[in-house]
Amino acid sequence: MNDEQSKYSKSTEVRTLSNKMKSISFHKKEVRKWKQAGVLEYLQSIKESGSLSEEGSNGSSQQYNKNQTTRFVKKESKTS
């Protein structure tokens, strides 16, 4: 392996590591926010029931499957 290749692989390693660190710290901040908003308990209840039913304003309930749940929760956390 010549110098150029080793430089490149090291910089790539560093980049992926720093990205991982960023995502971890971001995740911690999110979790802290969600704990305050009570979202974690909400997510846990969803996990246990396997689905989320939301009462609509007209009394009808909508069923969300597990795939849609995460998207729904992300929207919720932004508005609160």
Torsion angle of alpha carbons 70, 72, 77, 80, nearest 10°?
Answer: -160
Tokens of 15: 């980049």
Q: Hey, is 80 helix, strand or coil?
A: coil
Residue with the larger pLDDT of the pair 71 and 8: 8
Q: In this predicted model, what pLDDT tens digit does every residue of 48-60 receive, in sequence order?
A: 776 555 544 444 4
The mean pLDDT of 56-67, rounded to a whole number, is 46
Predicted local confidence at residue 32, as pLDDT: 76
Tell me the C-alpha distance between 66 and 64, whole Å. 7
The pTM for the full model equals 0.23
Lowest mean pLDDT among 9-13, 50-54, 65-69: 65-69
